Amino acid sequence: MDAAALERHRIAEVGTATIASVYPRTVGRNSFRGSHGNGGRHEVIVLTTDRGHVGWGPPLGPVGDARRFVGRPVAELIDPGLGVAEEALPLDCALHDLAGVILDLPVHRMLGARGSTALPVYSGAIYLDDLDPAEAPAGISAVERNLALDAAAGYRDFKLKLGRGYRWMSRAEGLARDIEVTRLTRERYPDARILVDANDGYSIHDAAEYIAATADVGLYWMEETFAERLEDLLELRRLIDEHSPSTLIADGEYRPNVPVVTKFAAQGLIDVLLMDVLDYGLTAWRRIMPTVIEAGAAISPHAWGWPLKTLYAAQIGAGLGSASIVEGVPGTTTGIDASAYRFEDGILTLPERPGFGLPLTSDAIRR
């Protein structure tokens, strides 16, 4: 790539635009949080260079006074081979997009093109909707309906939320429902990869019961069974090795202590690392990747709850490799043209378009 091209572009303007995530249905509770709603509006950063090239992306944390970037050569803010300079980390996504646009390079190529550009994407939207409405809970038919809706939208693999007994039901009832939903999903979708996620709502005793009761389901992975602790992870590994040896342990999503979770990965206690697309960021993922590879772990950057984050997670997977499946947030994003991405039969195929390949449209309110 002609990285020198980035020397010739200076940031002329740092603006904002508003996009919105739109879910196909209201998404209910997980193990500890109430309704996840219908989507939401997001303010994103729009960078324009003195030569008229545009890149955009959600900010990573507070941007502060954006005027400090005006006049700066793009080459000072991002090295396409490494990522974004420390001072410009809030612009991580926008600068990757902009550098891709200037260099006529898709982000996944800038990241190294180490993975496939056609990646399985699971539905991450199978929440605890059986518990709502609170006054007359729908029961598991609500979960069946959600599975059917997402299957009709092209998903072939599903992640089930678990942990009903953490806050919403008694421990025994919650665990029984978690098991029932898991078994039912396997019955209805014999070929699906089934992922499960307790959002840290299980004890090791819950996990032991659940794993024994679903041993024949062939779970693809167990995510955030409990907060990452050495003794519990050792026991989880032992239980999985005994009952369901092909099941992966996925963790590192919620407020991860990254040095600790990568150490657990190196010890064989976490198989898939989940740090968030935006909270952690592209540049951080690029920096940690040699450690992840050395640990022998896989990656699947956390993408809930923006459909856009699914596309970014797929770009990271296609770029950095080691991603066997991507978290899908069903729905659409207003204000962007995502039509170059194809999703069919459970597989998302990335475009060979510069940057993220996601131009803003006139619906994105520019300011």
Residues that bind Mg ion (CB under 5 A): 197, 253
Cβ distance to Mg ion smaller for residue 197 or 228: 197
Phi, psi of 284 (to 5 degrees): -65, -40
For the CB of residue 244, give the shortest distance to Mg ion in the complex, in Å.
19
Cβ distance to Mg ion smaller for residue 110 or 196: 196
For 308-346, give one letter per residue: b (16+ CB within 10 A) or e: bbbbbbbbbbbbbbbbbbbbbbbbebebbebebbebeeb
Cβ distance to Mg ion smaller for residue 228 or 253: 253
For the CB of residue 253, give the shortest distance to Mg ion in the complex, in Å.
5
For the CB of residue 163, give the shortest distance to Mg ion in the complex, in Å.
11
d(CA 224, CA 245): 18
Kindly give the residue spans of alpha helices, DSSP state H, lying in the chain.
74-77, 92-103, 107-110, 141-152, 164-167, 171-188, 204-213, 230-243, 258-266, 282-295, 307-320
Cβ distance to Mg ion smaller for residue 92 or 224: 224
Amino acid of residue 58: P
Q: Are 204 and 171 in contact (CB under 8 A)?
A: no
Give the closest residue to 159 by CA, choosing from 172, 147, 176. Answer: 147
Cβ distance to Mg ion smaller for residue 92 or 253: 253
Give the closest residue to 208 by CA, choosing from 228, 236, 182, 180. Answer: 236
For the CB of residue 115, give the shortest distance to Mg ion in the complex, in Å.
21
Residues 6+ apart with CB under 8 A from 3: 75, 79, 80, 81, 103
d(CA 126, CA 128): 7
For the CB of residue 140, give the shortest distance to Mg ion in the complex, in Å.
21
The neighbour count for residue 366, using CB atoms within 10 Å, is 12
For the CB of residue 63, give the shortest distance to Mg ion in the complex, in Å.
27
For the CB of residue 6, give the shortest distance to Mg ion in the complex, in Å.
36
Cβ distance to Mg ion smaller for residue 97 or 150: 150
For 180-203, give one letter per residue: b (16+ CB within 10 A) or e: ebbeebbeebeebbbbbbbbbbbe
Strand pairing partners for 37?
Answer: 27
Cβ distance to Mg ion smaller for residue 14 or 198: 198
For the CB of residue 25, give the shortest distance to Mg ion in the complex, in Å.
19
d(CA 246, CA 295): 18
For the CB of residue 321, give the shortest distance to Mg ion in the complex, in Å.
22
Q: Residue with the closest Cβ to Mg ion?
A: 197
Cβ distance to Mg ion smaller for residue 111 or 316: 316
Look up residue 324 and give its two tokens.
């066997």
Look up residue 351 and give its two tokens.
């475009």
Cβ distance to Mg ion smaller for residue 56 or 280: 280
Q: How far, CA to CA in Å, does 172 sit from each of 51, 167, 205?
A: 63, 12, 11
For the CB of residue 255, give the shortest distance to Mg ion in the complex, in Å.
12
Cβ distance to Mg ion smaller for residue 97 or 200: 200
